[in-house]
Copies of this chain bind each other. A is one copy, B any other.
Amino acid sequence: MIIVMKMGASKDQLETVVKKVEELGFKPHVIHGEERKVVAAVGHEKKKTDLYDLQLYDGVEAVVPISKPYKLASSEVKKGRTVIKLPNGVSIGGKKLCVMAGPCSVESEKQILETAWAVKKAGGHMLRGGAFKPRTSPYEFQGLEEAGLKLLAKAREETGLPVITEVLNQRDVELVEKYADILQVGARNVQNFSLLKELGQCKKPVFLKRGLSSTIKEWLLSAEYIITSGNPNVILCERGIRTFETATRNTLDLNAIPVLKKETHLPVIVDPSHGTGYWSYVIPMAMAGIAAGADGVMIEVHPKPEEALSDGGQSLTFSRFEELMGRLQALATVVERSL
């Protein structure tokens, strides 16, 4: 931690800061710059946030952190990449790319089974589908709940595809874990710390979507909550952030892919359906995500997008999903991956 003194801070003010740094259990190093003085505080990471209060001392201009706040999620701490293996052979984070696809919401047995078979046939690896839906308006469709989970389980039984679905609150974690192979945390819950801690107790992997306004640092700290609570199997999903641009539903931040590849050992998936909000942009942005280095994509697919109960506008038809799979197949070898 670096404490920057104001230009013209007095000797007394400097000494007060130095003494406080010592009291807090750190070793102070004073650096006498040409313009101003700076105190470097050396010591244990854990208590470093205490030092922030020094910004309240007279003569102090700013307190500047040096270290990264996340530890277990950091590639500085854990060498080698995390590869998450599901019971039936699907793995995420290794050489093989993972394609998760399915409808926004589970709507009926017919809809989810048809889609599951279409995903399977086209070469997809996992089935997605929402049973509990977080909707901005209370007047919108909120999901089939447990009935939806049962339909997902049935689709897994028939097709063999493992299943990923969202859990909205800590009370439902046990229920969702009974049916799902991976539990998804949606963008709006990325800092629902009660839920994150509960998921730390869970035996199944967690799929953590980035929040609409999460910095990458905050997002990794949310992953850190799950890991420190006992569950090391976290998958990160870039799904677009909120910016001033309204031509798309969100701004898919693909920069996050190489940043995360450097900062963390956790796998990274891209969701171009939410990241763009329009089906016609999904294929190019799925391609872009994989070209940027992602470990896979999550794609919304629906038998009849124009009749979907949610997010129809960003869903691919079965034939467009097949087209995407063909194009990803060609791309995979260029980025030294397989599909």
Contacts and interface: CB of A to CB of B under 8 A. Distances in A.
Contact of A291 (B169, B189, B241, B290): B290
A297 to B, nearest CB: 12
A289 interface: yes
Contact of A242 (B169, B244, B331): B244
A153 interface: no
A317 to B, nearest CB: 10
A287 B291 contact: yes
Stoichiometry, copies per complex: 4
A166 B109 CA distance: 41
Contacts of A291: 284, 287-288, 290-292, 331
A36 B157 CA distance: 50
A94 interface: no
Contacts of A240: 255
Given A31-B42, A137-B221, A243-B243, 4 more contacts: A7-B76, A56-B312, A138-B221, A171-B194
15 contacts: A2-B64, A7-B76, A29-B29, A34-B45, A56-B279, A135-B193, A136-B218, A169-B169, A169-B192, A189-B192, A240-B255, A247-B256, A251-B255, A255-B276, A257-B288
